Amino acid sequence: MLIDIVGAGSLGLLFGGKLAWSGSLVRIWSRSAGQAEELRHSGIHIAKDGESGLKVEPAHFQSGTVEQLGQAWETKPGDYVLVMTKQKDTEAVCRYLSQVRLPQGSSRPVVVCFQNGYGHMDRLKAILPGWTILAAVTTEGAKRTSFTEVFHAGSGDTVIGESGVGHVSKKIGGRWLNLVQALKQAGFYPVLSNDIDNMMFRKLLINAVINPLTALWRIPNGELLKSPARMKLMKELYEETLAVYDACGIRYEEDMWDQILNVCRATSGNTSSMLKDVLAGSPTEIGWINGSIADMALKAGVQAPVNELVTRLIEGIIAEEE
């Protein structure tokens, strides 16, 4: 089985590195030629607190630029392509994949999308009609520290499934089990789900409450719990989002509030991904998180003023050149 990884960022280096280290055939496709060259020269180093770290030698995987993926697919397409770019780049990546000419008679790679947020899967399916596109919801935590190094901040589950098919009661058969097996062998905790949309909505709720507020107040996740004023705004975002979910018929667990507080405690020292983007001066994924909840509200005919406001506040942090 051959696994292509698009995006050699935090998740790309973590998953690509560990898959290659455990013996899977892996090709990692970066945006820049400079990074592809450094990966070919130095391999990947995965650091983790309290562990000795993992050095993945360059001989254990291939790397190149995403343009070279097109050439590679013309002769040997992978079985899976794990898309590990941020939301803002993912549509362009899928548009590019749709244009690659595959050898006659070969199957299309199964596309697995790891993005946080919601709303992208339908758009990606429209770009890649007829392809199998899976969503992955992961609670692994990773932060790239250089072109070839990544810090594995925390382990978690990786739930994979087909979005947009509703809750499928039948048991998932043997499809995609080879990917699950490879991920397990690499030390991840993958699970196949027949209800992936619900998993995405669960993570969306967690991100919608934690990410914009940590980014606006520039605090680590645990600091949210340290003041009644902060908790009050978290609760407003939480209750508003649940009202939107109710209007859209989205199911959620009764104890989601406690689960969110537990995520803040378990990741208390973490800089949320949105705060990281803000500090780096990079575009955030707010449009796919609170922005997508505001869109869902609009379609369902309900109000979501707090989600709308935090979206506008975060969007206003970065001034885009006219």
Ligand X SMILES: NC(=O)C1=CN([C@@H]2O[C@H](COP(=O)(O)OP(=O)(O)OC[C@H]3O[C@@H](n4cnc5c(N)ncnc54)[C@H](OP(=O)(O)O)[C@@H]3O)[C@@H](O)[C@H]2O)C=CC1
**Contacting ligand KPL (CB under 6 A), which of 115, 267, 290, 292?**
267
**Contacting ligand KPL (CB under 6 A), which of 35, 90, 193, 273?**
273
Contact call for residues 231 and 225 (beta carbons, < 8 A): yes
* Whole-angstrom distance, CA of residue 249 vs CA of residue 286: 23
Q: Residue type at 114?
A: F
Q: Report CA-CA distances (Å) from 169 to 4, 201, 246, 251, 319.
A: 30, 19, 22, 15, 47
Q: Residue 272 binds which one of ligand KPL, ligand X, none, with CB within 5 to 8 A depending on kind?
A: ligand KPL
**Contacting ligand X (CB under 6 A), which of 87, 271, 284, 307?**
87
Residue 295: CB partners within 8 Å, gap ≥ 6? 119
Q: Residue 207 binds which one of ligand KPL, ligand X, none, with CB within 5 to 8 A depending on kind?
A: ligand KPL
**Minimum separation from the CB atom of position 117 to ligand KPL (A):** 9
List the x/- string, 88-117, binding to ligand X by CB under 6 A: -x--xx--------------------xxx-
**Contacting ligand KPL (CB under 6 A), which of 10, 22, 24, 207?**
207
**Contacting ligand X (CB under 6 A), which of 63, 86, 270, 275?**
86
**Contacting ligand X (CB under 6 A), which of 8, 192, 264, 294?**
8
The radius of gyration computed from the CA coordinates of the chain, to the nearest angstrom, equals 20
- Token pair in block for residue 89: 């780049």
β-strand pairing of 80-83 with 2-6 = parallel
Residue 15: CB partners within 8 Å, gap ≥ 6? 5, 82, 84, 140, 183, 186, 188
Asked if 10 is part of the footprint of ligand X (rule: CB under 6 A), the reply reads: yes
List the x/- string, 24-43, binding to ligand X by CB under 6 A: -----xxxx-----------
Q: Which of residues 88 and 125 has its CB atom nearest to ligand X in the complex? A: 88
Q: Residue 221 binds which one of ligand KPL, ligand X, none, with CB within 5 to 8 A depending on kind?
A: ligand KPL
Residue 106: CB partners within 8 Å, gap ≥ 6? 77
**Contacting ligand KPL (CB under 6 A), which of 211, 241, 292, 307?**
211
Residue 214: CB partners within 8 Å, gap ≥ 6? 220, 221, 223, 224, 271, 272, 274, 275
Residues at the interface with ligand X (CB under 6 A): 6-12, 29-32, 66, 84-87, 89, 92-93, 114-116, 138, 140-142, 144, 273, 285
